[in-house]
Amino acid sequence: MTRAAAGVGDEPGAGRYRLLQVRILRRLVRAPEFGVGVAAVLIYGFFAVVGGSRGFLTLTGTTSWLDTASQLGIIAIPLGLLMISGSFDLSIGSMVGAGSVTVGVVTGYLHQGLWLAVVIAAAVALAVGIGNGLLVARTALHSFIVTLAANLIVSGLGLAISLAVTGTTSVPVAVSGLSAKFFNWHWGQLSVSTFWWLAIALVGGWVLAKTRAGNWITATGGDPERARRAGVMTSRVTVCLFICTALASTFVGVLQAVQYTTGDPTTGQSYVFEAAIVVVIGGVLISGGYGTILGVVLGTLIFGIASAGLFYTGWDTNYADVLIGILMVVAVLTNNFLRRLATTTVKKGRLA
């Protein structure tokens, strides 16, 4: 009699425990970074098994994919914020080249200081970012068209100016001292790019998750008209985010110019697609209004692991793009499935 009574008394508690488990599961599945987090663990595990004996798990192997991910991640984080707001930026590739060639021309050809080159490159980025943002915010032109045009204009001007001034597209960079170390120092085998990436990720994650600006970014991408009626300054959000993507891309160009001691206006075009790929893999909706910085970071890690990990498998590295393309399709399908699963209702203590 006592055991029966105890069993009856335990049922509400057990039911509440099961309901709590379901709620935690739903919250976990609903997170944009859930699917890409699982994928990152699986992909790392795959390359650890296949390429571990060839050096993938060594410090050199780890820093190789971190270096690949870090410079891409510096661009991908502001691009992720921009895509969450509902816009896109194809001019990031030309801005990397603009930053790189500016350092080359100013330091290697005009023999001026690195900081002057950085100021000039930042001014160019500011102008391009404002131009892109205003055109998208104030006209009916889609960001794809605006930034595609900007990419062609900036890359063409960079190439023409480099040839006219120096007679070549590859300008030697002449930097030294503390200014050079600021953009090219190492902690052990870790490059400074990794630390810049982590710092930008922390700032971007805080802005998106903890500030009013983050709410405005998500609202602008979700329903811009409703956001405007609610008092969100959608035009200001768009312009500021385009400035951020231009500055981040230019910063990567400066890093590359100092690290590789060469300024080249043609460098950086691969980032146009790679940055967008890792943002989408990270769970950000192309249509906007959904995504997290943690998801973008994990998407970038997947790209870095897959790109560098293929080398340690002994397979043909020409298949790297094939692998990344498959990962992108699988990531989008998985994220769509998880979002649908997260919207289901709780019935009888399980996801229905």
pLDDT tens column, 109-158 = 888 989 999 999 999 999 999 999 999 999 888 999 999 999 999 999 99
Yes or no: say if 264 and 170 are a contact pair by the CB < 8 Å rule.
Answer: yes
Residues 214-233 have a mean pLDDT of: 89
User: How are beta strands 350-351 and 262-263 bridged, if at all?
Assistant: unpaired
- Over residues 81-94, the pLDDT tens digits come to 999 999 999 999 99
Whether 215 and 154 have beta carbons less than 8 Å apart is answered as no
For residue 223, what are its two tokens? 């329903």
> In terms of pLDDT, which residue wins out, 166 or 342?
166
Tokens of 117: 């080159």
The separation between CA 165 and the C-alpha centre of its own chain, rounded to angstroms, equals: 34
Which of 72, 89, 90 shows the shortest CA–CA distance to 302? Answer: 72
Q: What is the pLDDT of residues 71-83, one digit of tens each?
A: 999 999 999 999 9
What's the whole-number average pLDDT of the chain?
84
Between 206 and 349, the more confident residue is: 206
Q: What is the pLDDT of residue 350?
A: 44
What residues does each domain of the chain span?
34-338
* Confidence tier at 52 by pLDDT (50, 70, 90): confident
Instruction: State how far the Cα of 299 lies from the Cα of 124, in Å rounded to an integer.
Output: 29
CATH 1.10.3470 is the classification of domain 34-338: yes
- Please give the model's pTM, rounded to 2 decimal places: 0.86
The pLDDT of residue 351 is 42
pLDDT of res. 126 = 97
Label residue 38 by pLDDT band (50, 70, 90): confident
Nearest residue to 351 via CA among 101, 9, 31, 24? 24
Q: Are 203 and 248 in contact (CB under 8 A)?
A: no
pLDDT digits (tens, 9 = 90+) for 246-293: 999 999 999 999 988 888 888 888 899 899 989 988 888 888 888 899
**pLDDT digit string, tens, across residues 301-346:** 988 988 888 888 877 767 777 877 787 777 777 766 766 665 553 3
